[in-house]
Amino acid sequence: MTLANSKEQVIKAVEQSGILIVREEPRFFNMNEDFVFPYIIMTLCLSGSARAMYDMRVITHHKNDLAFIMPGHIMHPMDCTDDFTYAVFFISPKMFDDLRFHTFSHDYEKFNYAPLCSLTDEQAAHLLAIVDQLIIITNHTEEEMPHRYQTLLAQLAVGYEFLNYYRREQDRQWTANRNIEIFSRFCDLVVKHYQESREIKYYADMLNLTPKYLSKVIRAATDGLSPVKWIEQYVTAQAKRLIATHATPTLQETAYMLGFSEPTSFYRYFKRVTGMTAKEYRDSTSS
């Protein structure tokens, strides 16, 4: 499967099997476009390099770099070298919840503020061996392997514990930075509450900060992006996901699902942020 040409097939495969793994993909999918998935997305750079924004922060991937993107967070692939290849897999919300129950460590939130982990050749080879085992398991049906789902969870848990072990020093360094922790919590709060509010004060109050201080932290983490702009890009990325995947039957339903009190407010918001109307975007995804 080539991700760039089969986004709907990706969604269908993840919903059916709980997990989708592509062992070697030549370039990022959704290049130069914000997108949000309700899945865990993990990528391991196999060769070359690439740049992407995770929660509006620019991160460069090199060989053996593993990125761990939490459900609902925003990603924006920017560019990559001609020799860039990577392994990628998607995990459904149900499998993710079951995985959280089965693993020994439950501090998944750390991947919001430190999504990238640089591995050695040996560490990357160990994780790829686990990935290969996962692929073998996913190639079997429940009829062929009655405990297929439980076996997948067990293998994922092994991979997660190895990843925790490999990045333990990095985690100690990142958690010592209070502003990075604030940025991480802000991102999480927007993911959980964007349908309720798009106001800076709402999130600053939840963090027990002044809007001015929160703005300073967000701008520092994102190379100048204000909290308002961050929220706008997140909301429109969610809107694009709903429209492109036909998750809602009408644009009016999209507006209500995003928390807008009336569709016209959503139409104006989408046009102001993206430069195109919601209908124009819907038509472009249908062609």
How far separated are the first and last CA of the chain, in Å rounded? 21
CATH code of the domain in which 51 resides: 2.60.120.10
107 pLDDT exceeds 90?
Answer: no
Quote the pLDDT of residue 119. 93
Given 174, 196, 213, which residue is the final one in a domain?
174
99 pLDDT exceeds 70?
Answer: yes
Q: What's the token pair of residue 211?
A: 């809007």
Q: How much is the mean pLDDT over the chain?
A: 86
pLDDT tens figures, 222-231: 889 999 999 9
Looking at the structure, tell me whether residues 38 and 122 fall in a common domain: yes
**CA 75 – CA 32 distance, rounded (Å):** 10
Looking at the structure, tell me whether residues 86 and 218 fall in a common domain: no
Looking at the structure, tell me whether residues 267 and 147 fall in a common domain: no
Looking at the structure, tell me whether residues 146 and 52 fall in a common domain: yes
Tell me the CB-side half-sphere exposure of residue 5, using CA atoms within 13 A: 4
Q: What's the token pair of residue 26?
A: 């030549």
Looking at the structure, tell me whether residues 83 and 145 fall in a common domain: yes
Question: Which structural domain range is residue 249 located in?
Answer: 178-286
The CA distances from residue 221 to 103, 114, 183, 206, 216, in Å, are: 30, 12, 7, 19, 9
Looking at the structure, tell me whether residues 141 and 203 fall in a common domain: no
Residue tagged 């899945």 (tokens): 39
pLDDT tens figures, 187-210: 989 999 999 999 999 999 999 999
Q: How many domains does the chain have?
A: 2
Residues present in the chain in total: 287
Closest CA to 74 of 251, 262, 222, 285: 222
Looking at the structure, tell me whether residues 152 and 197 fall in a common domain: no
217 three-class SS: helix
In the chain, the percentage of residues whose pLDDT exceeds 70 is: 92
The CA distances from residue 104 to 87, 154, 282, in Å, are: 25, 11, 43
pLDDT, greater one: 252 or 110:
252
- Taking each helix axis from N to C terminus, what angle separates 148-166 and 168-175, rounded to the nearest 10 degrees? 70
**Core vs surface per residue 84-105: b (16+ CB within 10 A) or e:** bbbbbbbbbeebbebbeeebee
Q: How confident is the model at residue 100 (pLDDT cuts 50, 70, 90)?
A: confident
Looking at the structure, tell me whether residues 185 and 170 fall in a common domain: no
Quote the pLDDT of residue 115. 84
Looking at the structure, tell me whether residues 185 and 143 fall in a common domain: no
CATH code of the domain in which 230 resides: 1.10.10.60
Among 17-26, 106-115, 253-262, the least confident range: 106-115
Looking at the structure, tell me whether residues 231 and 260 fall in a common domain: yes
Given 124, 151, 174, which residue is the final one in a domain?
174
Looking at the structure, tell me whether residues 137 and 184 fall in a common domain: no
Given 148, 174, 200, which residue is the final one in a domain?
174
Q: What's the token pair of residue 266?
A: 């959503």
